[in-house]
Amino acid sequence: MHTTPGRRSDHQAPSTSRLRCLAFAAGLLALAPQAVSQVVSPLAPIRSESGLIAGQTLKSGVKAWLGVPYAAPPVQDLRWRPPQPISWEGVWNADRLGPECIQVLRPHDINHYFGEEPTSENCLYMNIWSPGDAKEGSKLPVIVFIYGGGGTIGSSGMDSYKGEELAKRGAVFVNFNYRVGLLGFMAHPELTAEQDGHSGNYAYLDQNAALKWIKANIGKFGGNPDRIVIMGQSAGARSVTEQIFSPLSKGLFSGAVMSSGCAWDIETDTLAEGEKTGLKAQELLGAKNLAAMRNIPADKILAIQSESQVGTKREGVKANGVIDGYFTPRSQKEILTSNEMSDVPIIAHYNRDETNTPFSAVKTLKGYTDMAESIYGSKAKEFLTIYPATTDAEAASQITQIALDSRLAKNARHCAMLQAKHNKSPAYISMFSRKHSFAPGVDYADIDEKRVGAYHTADIPFWFGTLETFNKFRQGRAWTDADRNLSEKMMASLIAFANTGDPQTKEVEWKPWSAANDSAMTFDETLTTTPSNPAGINFIAANPLPQSAPGAAPGRIPGAGPRD
């Protein structure tokens, strides 16, 4: 049983003085000399519900509090438990990033490598950026970002996820770490018995605890607790969806952005299915019971996980979110039917070139028509009527449209339709179609810079104004004025959405989705709207594409973007 926050029992987490030492040591590893030089002066402590927190003023004038604990470290007997409150005596010096939750590390030659980070189970920390003139009572819009990574990797410490640029423009920005992999999702019969009939979903419960902390304390940092938008990308978008559908998170946010992952009536594992995964993990670990599993080093647990991120390919145990009867009380379909999810404005976003189909490897008109015949046979004529092409260039354009209609554009539109059906708040759809301006001669291990388009996660540095992070160690991008102008427009739109629930600005004419406005705001050098293609969406839904081209071994299409 967990004791009163701030106190410690022998079986509990380390004392807060010890935690400060650990955070300090980990932060020294995380901060490069360049980052240290950006600090101008310390800030007077702010009193949160957990205790006093001292931050810093950056060279830009933005205020920052880095490595703020929002829950007790989930270690020892708190491993595989819901997050517990934390409090401390004295002042927490929030001047450096906390460690990322334990996960595989990134190769140094991939597109999304921004420096080494310390990794630990002691990882439940958040970061806050606020405008230099912000103070309690400023009531500025708040943007909270939840990272992706397939549920097995991700870190709030990634340079591309930082909030300094948004804070310069008038918003309070928050991101945080949450547990991933088996440590973040594993259910188990012993855990279910221990935790009043539910287990698993610890990643989502971490997110919920962070949102509660933000709701209770963000006003002290200049934010408006009634204007909090949560935003997630990929698995982070799935996390945002889970928060929308959970009764535990109602009232904690006023809007939601799901980038590359809005899907609202997907199937979720049952608790019993999740417990089977937990038992399989126990078997692979050679542990006789839960107590023994809690004593196993975290790297041993990491070693039995399935992993397909950042160049790692390993078969193993994959734990997912479950219908636990607590955080996720019922299926999404049932919650939709009863209109029980949070009714807030949403943005369903996707990138133009992040999805592959069997057509994605085709380069010519003949290859395109041959593929259509091979896949659809007697229905190929109907398919080619919906997706006509008479030149190689037209075929390439249709191949992109087919990929969008088969997954992300389809899913975003479906989210908007469900929002219109079940909620009163508006839904907005957008597509990012800008190809990054790669520097000459750059060579990444995980992408083909010449062929890659608006890849998975390509939009994030534009939303957050973190374009230059790609030039931290080498010249990875040669950004243009058009890139920077697009980023400014996207940041302004995101801040407007956080402030009012409407992403429209003077430069971004963005109307909510409706049957009469069945289109997506398209972010590129020139802002346009792209109509949906219901005929194609409906055809592919009724006639699903195979996972790989007929007769071809499944695999990564050259030029496809990285998964993060």
Kindly report, residue by residue over 313-343, the tens digit of the pLDDT: 999 999 999 999 999 999 999 999 999 999 9
> In which region does residue 551 sit, left (phi positive, over 0), alpha (psi from -120 to 50) or beta (all else)?
left
Same domain, 288 and 175: yes
Domain membership of residue 249 (yes or no) is yes
CA-nearest of 494, 487, 421 to 230 is: 494
pLDDT at 561: 53
Calpha distance 373→378 (Å, rounded):
8
Enumerate residue ranges in the chain where pLDDT < 50: 1-37, 550-560
The rounded radius of gyration (Å) of the Cα atoms in the chain is 23
Domain membership of residue 520 (yes or no) is no
pLDDT at 40: 77
Domain with residue 143: its CATH number is: 3.40.50.1820
Same domain, 366 and 240: no
Domain membership of residue 200 (yes or no) is yes
- Which range of residues forms the domain containing residue 546? 356-406+533-564
Domain membership of residue 329 (yes or no) is yes
Calpha distance 441→539 (Å, rounded):
42
Quick one: tokens of 362? 């085709």
300 near 286, Cβ under 8 Å? no
Same domain, 295 and 333: yes
Same domain, 35 and 165: yes
Quick one: tokens of 71? 């829950």
How many domains in the chain?
2
> In which residue are the tokens 């360049």 written?
34
Same domain, 133 and 234: yes
Calpha distance 145→139 (Å, rounded):
19
CA-nearest of 295, 146, 311, 301 to 229 is: 146
Domain end, chosen from 332, 349, 366, is at 349
259 near 285, Cβ under 8 Å? no
Same domain, 284 and 269: yes
Quick one: tokens of 506? 């003077």
Same domain, 301 and 323: yes
Domain membership of residue 78 (yes or no) is yes
Quick one: tokens of 273? 């299915």
- SS3 string, 15-37, reads CHHHHHHHHHHHHHHHCCHHHHH
Kindly report, residue by residue over 246-279, the tens digit of the pLDDT: 999 999 999 999 999 999 988 999 999 999 999 9
Quick one: tokens of 313? 């390919």
283 near 292, Cβ under 8 Å? no
Same domain, 181 and 321: yes
Same domain, 162 and 307: yes
Quick one: tokens of 375? 């896949």
Which amino acid is it at 331? S
* Residue 136 Cα distances to 218, 220, 227, 394, 498, angstroms: 9, 5, 15, 56, 18
134 near 221, Cβ under 8 Å? yes
pLDDT at 558: 39
122 near 67, Cβ under 8 Å? no
Same domain, 326 and 378: no
Q: 346-351 and 519-523: which strand pairing?
A: unpaired
Q: 63-69 and 56-58: which strand pairing?
A: antiparallel
Same domain, 62 and 80: yes
Same domain, 250 and 380: no
For residue 305, the 8-state DSSP code is B
Calpha distance 1→194 (Å, rounded):
10
Domain membership of residue 419 (yes or no) is no
